[in-house]
Amino acid sequence: MSGLSLDARIQGRDIEMAVDVAEGEVLAVLGPNGAGKSTLLSVAAGLIRPDTGRVELNGRVLTDTDAGIAVPPHRRGMALLAQEALLFPHLTVAANVAFAPRSAGRSRREARAIARHWMDAVDATQFADRRPHQLSGGQAQRVAVARALAADPQALLLDEPMAALDVAAAPALRVLLRKVLCEEHRTAVVVTHDVLDALALADRVIVVDGGRIVESGSVRDVLSRPRSSFAARIAGLNLVAVFATPSGFETENGVRMHGLPDDDVGGTAPAVAVFAPHSVAVHRRSPEGSPRNVFGVTVTEIEVRGPIVRVRAVTARGRLELSADVTAESVAELDLVPGLDVFFVVKATEVAIHAVSTS
């Protein structure tokens, strides 16, 4: 197939993932720290050999544990861009960018021309004669992008390229990467913990947690209809794990959950109930009335966000973290402070219930 295909299992790290990236597609990989995101890239790049698995790029087999195939990293036709630029300290910027084409056998003149092209593409021509220690973090990362592209890779692997940059440099690099990836129509995998990277760069997103892919889809779908706690958190939503029963939906503690289920939710399969913090009302006493969801919680944090106050709380024994957005007036009226026991209440019509993939 055209594009990147990876299927790998690593027992010691509890990794089991299968990913297909179409030719020219940009895939974002989201997930918490330690989920296995960078391991996924390392397997693709040939830096980690899986216990069992296979990696293909544009129909060429790079890893096949059954057949004993393990193409070394420098012959895979991929470029890996890490959090740190990792430029050669003894070379100028121009020489850094020209390094890959020279190593591939291009003449000095050809390599210089390729380097000039990519330095111009990333707006780094003015740094051509500088050494890496003379560059800012953002400048160095732009040069690293140019160096990666000068190798003419069939696939780009980006491991949180904005993570080490300051708040001013990160947006500029994000814009640059979007321009390069769109114009070059290159297959790319972008590992990130920042939803802005996914929104700006990706055609599709997967969410990795515990060494497994727990969600996959368009960026909009994953953020508006999350099925994992990580995706819900970055989307700013509350998520409660539930399962279907003959009489409705219940949490793992046997608490009834009222909501609007998708058509594919049913049987005894696991599901998640999702609702926005602004749909949560806070009460000092448990209310009665039409079908609604009531959570007894303890306030843990109060965060002022302009005219809105985000109230964070946990249920008994800290099993579930929930958030509510209320007005400052409500905080004063209810005398909300950390440690106070209250009730979070959300109407059934404000709760969406989605199926969770068990594959």
Domains and their CATH numbers in the chain: 4-223 (3.40.50.300), 236-355 (2.40.50.100)
Helix/strand/coil percent split, the chain, to 5: 30, 35, 35
Question: Cα separation of 189 and 192, whole Å?
Answer: 10
Residue 126 neighbours by CB distance under 10 Å: 10
Question: Cα separation of 161 and 206, whole Å?
Answer: 18
The arrangement of strands across the sheet holding 4-10 comes to: 15-21, 4-10, 52-57, 60-64, 69-70
User: In terms of DSSP H, where are the helices of 285-343?
Assistant: 328-334
Question: Cα separation of 247 and 71, whole Å?
Answer: 55
Give the angle 188-192-194 at the CA atoms, nearest 5°. 130
Residue-level pLDDT, tens digit, the chain, 359 residues? 689 999 999 999 999 999 999 999 999 999 888 899 999 999 999 999 999 999 999 999 999 999 999 999 999 999 998 888 899 999 999 999 999 999 989 999 999 999 999 998 888 899 999 999 999 988 999 899 999 999 999 999 999 888 777 777 778 788 888 888 888 788 999 998 877 788 888 999 999 999 999 999 988 788 878 888 888 888 888 988 888 887 788 887 778 889 988 877 766 677 888 999 999 999 999 887 666 899 999 999 999 988 899 999 998 866 788 999 999 999 999 999 999 999 999 999 999 888 775 44
Whole-prediction pTM: 0.76
Computed on alpha carbons and rounded to an integer, the radius of gyration of the chain in Å comes to 24
Contact 250, 231 (CB under 8 A): no
- State the pLDDT at residue 223: 80
Residue 288 neighbours by CB distance under 10 Å: 7
- State the pLDDT at residue 359: 46
The tokens describing 227, both together, are: 């099925």
CB burial of residue 237 (10 Å; 0-12, 13-18, 19+):
buried
Contact 324, 297 (CB under 8 A): no
Contact 205, 27 (CB under 8 A): yes
